[in-house]
A and B are shown apart, each in its own frame.
Chain A
Amino acid sequence: MKGVRTNKMGHLAPVLNLGGFRLDLAALFMIVLSSLIVFVLCRLAVRNLSVENPGKLQNFLEWVVDFVKGIIGQAMDYKTGAPYLTLGLTLILYIFVSNMLGLPIGIVTEAHDLEHATFLGMQLFVEGHHDHLAFAWWKSPTADASMTMALALIVIVLSHVQGLRKNTKHYLKHYASPNIVFLPLHLVELVSKPLTLGLRLFGNIFAGEVMIAVILGMGIVGIPAMIVWQGFSIFVGAIQSFIFTMLTMVYISQTIVHEEDH
């Protein structure tokens, strides 16, 4: 496999090698940026809260909160699920903003050779041999597999910890139900849930960005294709954020609500 660490069509990720730990600077900056955007958006929405005369942003945020309440209500009864409203709200807003960020803009810097590929004096790390060093600094944070897997792990670990704390007997018994023969299946499910949750989001957004790079390479012929693809990417970004939040609530409900069917 030649040309590793390219995130799209030959663009490298600006990676710092901190004693073996590889830090992707583009992902770092974009994660901070999307966190800032979500924070500013939400703080602006809760300024001058009013019941009779809500502003547009307040209306929008109230709609999102109602939407997440609906998602939680579908997965489990709302009384048990109420503590997870903030989690669901954070996930859906953050993932949606992250998915949208990589669409409009691309920032690429070039370096002549490896010695000049530095960031603030620190040498950027490039694996393999490339004749042409081009670093892409702007991408969706969710187009980075480590980021989406981190989100998925947070959510899955939370569901297991809550299952152990609140529902210990049923949670441990469910691994051997309906029959002990099902134990390997449940163990496979234990691994596959975080994997598919994270990789689904990563694959959708990463493939969208690769496609944008391909269409850019087509030049002027690709302009109608770019319009169509950007629209489709907005749609996919919204759907994937919704699916992530919904699956989070479903997995949490599976571990903490056990009494009915077992």
Chain B
Amino acid sequence: MDYAYLAAGIVFGLGALGAGIGNGLIFSKTVEGISRQPELRGALTATAFIGVGLVEAMPIISLVLAFMWAQ
């Protein structure tokens, strides 16, 4: 049985789960902040996207690993 495909699927699936939850938390707080102070919208959105870049580091590394194993 070829476990490489299974490994790739599990690794990336869990990574996607982490990315989804992390990004959801970031943006929920951002929307809350914008609703409290609408004039800070630009700064809050910019910070949110920076946070997304940081949070998505591990899931993207898991994507690269999944591609390596599935080839």
State whether the Cβ of B61 lies closer than 8 Å to any Cβ in chain A: yes
Pick the interface stretch among A32-40, A109-117, A199-207, A221-229. A199-207
> In the bound complex, how far is the Cα of B56 from the Cα of A239, in angstroms?
12
- Which residue of the partner chain, among A2, A203, A242, contacts B60 with CB atoms under 8 Å? A203
Contact of B57 among A2, A6, A203 (CB under 8 A): A203
Q: Does B50 belong to the interface (CB within 8 Å)? A: yes
Query: With A2-B71, A3-B71 in contact, do A243 and B54 touch (Cβ < 8 Å)?
Result: yes
On chain B, which size bracket covers the interface? 10 to 19
Q: CA A213 – CA B61 in complex, angstroms? A: 18
A2: B residues at CB distance < 8 A: 71
The residues of A that contact B1 with a CB separation of less than 8 Å are none
Tell me the interface secondary structure of chain B in the complex.
helix
Give A242 Cβ to nearest chain B Cβ, in Å: 7
Interface residues on A, range: 10 to 19
Q: Counting CB contacts under 8 A, is A240 at the interface?
A: yes
- Which B residues have a C-beta under 8 Å from some C-beta of A? 4, 49-50, 52-54, 56-58, 60-61, 63-64, 67-69, 71
- Which positions in A face B, CB cutoff 8 Å? 1-3, 6, 196, 199-200, 202-204, 206-207, 210, 236, 239-240, 242-243, 246
Please list the 8 inter-chain residue pairs (A to B) with the smallest Cβ-Cβ separation, ordered nearest first. Answer: A203-B60, A200-B57, A243-B53, A203-B61, A3-B71, A239-B53, A203-B64, A199-B61
